[in-house]
Structure 1
Amino acid sequence: MKCIYYLTSTLKSTQDVSDDLHEVGVEDFYLHVISKDECGLKKQHIHSSNYLETLDIVRDGFIGAAIGCVAGLIGISLLMYFKPLGADFEIPTLVYALLVGAATLFGAWEGGLTGIATENKKLARFHDDIAAGKYLILVYVGKNQEATVRKMMDERHSDADMVAIDSHCVNPFTGVDRVAQRAATRT
């Protein structure tokens, strides 16, 4: 599955794009619009984005979990080395596993809280456009649907700029894979 990013300048053109994408079989679940005009999107019944797309909750949560896991491993290593309960007292392996698990979950929670306050890194390059009032349309398409969507957008919506293609939204550590050829030739 790929995510194709289109940038439009008006709510009307965004509505038209949304309607035409529905016409070619793209469901609301696979179509999200990011804009500072949330009220306008709601009035026009355009599916807006969610927090997982606009904030770095997932990415920072994974980073926090990794840091928590490392901290947990260091902690149990110190427990094994210093044996604070005495040399004769053996701590069960399950306790060590639970300690690492608790540290990992705590790190994920803290990372997620940090991510709530952070803009999604994949969308950071579009921040100025969105702040200027433009609409960023994210269209998630499968291999069998990509050509249909791109052809329809080229034919019916020359005002919508294809600005990027992302391989998938699941991996939060990758950036947007490539800038669309059409957007690159216009600059």
Structure 2
Amino acid sequence: MKRLFYSTNDLDDAELISDEVHKQGIDDQHFFVLSREDKGILSHRLHGGNSFDNTSLLATSKRAGVFAFCILALVAIIGVGLVDITMQNLLWLVLVCGVAFAAAKMLASIVCASFDSYFKDTFDRHLDNGEVIVIIDVTHDQSPKIMSQLKQHSAVSFIAESSNIESPIPS
């Protein structure tokens, strides 16, 4: 699935977008609004909150662990294929896998922290300007349809898209 991020001028626009994408099959579990106006989110019947700090919408640090595990598995598979399995070689393979995992986790964590920081700064800038952030999780099949529909709105601006792996919409 993809996660689409949009900004809009106010909660009225966000409610209009919510109604439109719900008609396209997007339910509340795949739609989230961020706004500095908590009471406004409730009065507009929107599913949302006021900051990223209380959500796991950006979970790239979790993805770093998945990436590191994939590197570990790759190194282990290659190692088993290249080395005769003896006790000494097995210990070396375990050591090499451990180092590969640690290095991949450290590198991915640094990259992911930078990514999260960039997204948070971008979204906070929009929120501080009184805008509303609309977050929509879509399947790859739904993505072109939803993006095309939202392009028709003059008050809606596309910010970014990412994966939603390991970062569910808060309930």
Tell me which interval the TM-score lies in, with the shorter structure as reference length: 0.5 to 0.7
Cα deviation 1:20-57 (Å, max 9, x = unaligned): 11111111111111111111011111010562127x7x
State the match for 2:25 in structure 1.
Answer: 25
State the match for 1:59 in structure 2.
Answer: 61
> Larger relative CO (CA 8 A, sep 6+): 1 or 2?
2
Equivalent residue letter for 1:127: D
How far apart are 1:171 and its partner, in Å? 6.0
State the match for 2:95 in structure 1.
Answer: none
Cα deviation 1:47-103 (Å, max 9, x = unaligned): 10562127x7x738x78xx9xxxxxxxxxxxxxxxxxxxxxxxxxxxxxxxxxxxxx
Alpha-carbon distance in 1 for matches of 2:45, 2:124 = 23
Secondary structure of residue in 2 paired with 1:158: coil
User: Gapped runs of 5+ residues in structure 1?
Assistant: 67-119, 173-187
Match of 2:156 among 144, 154, 160: 160
TM-score by length of 1: 0.54
Q: Percent identity?
A: 21
1:126-145 equivalence runs, <5 A: 126-145=123-142
Alpha-carbon distance in 2 for matches of 1:37, 1:59 = 28
Secondary structure of residue in 1 paired with 2:165: coil
User: Gapped runs of 5+ residues in structure 2?
Assistant: 69-115
Secondary structure of residue in 1 paired with 2:159: strand
Give the RMSD, CA atoms, in angstroms: 3.1
1:1-187 equivalence runs, <5 A: 1-49=1-49, 51-53=55-57, 59=61, 121=117, 122-155=119-152, 157-166=153-162, 168-170=163-165
Report how many residues are paired.
118
Secondary structure of residue in 2 paired with 1:129: helix
Alpha-carbon distance in 2 for matches of 1:11, 1:19 = 12
TM-score by length of 2: 0.58
Alpha-carbon distance in 1 for matches of 2:127, 2:3 = 18
* Cα distance change of structure 1 residues 2 and 21 upon mapping to structure 2, 3 Å threshold: same
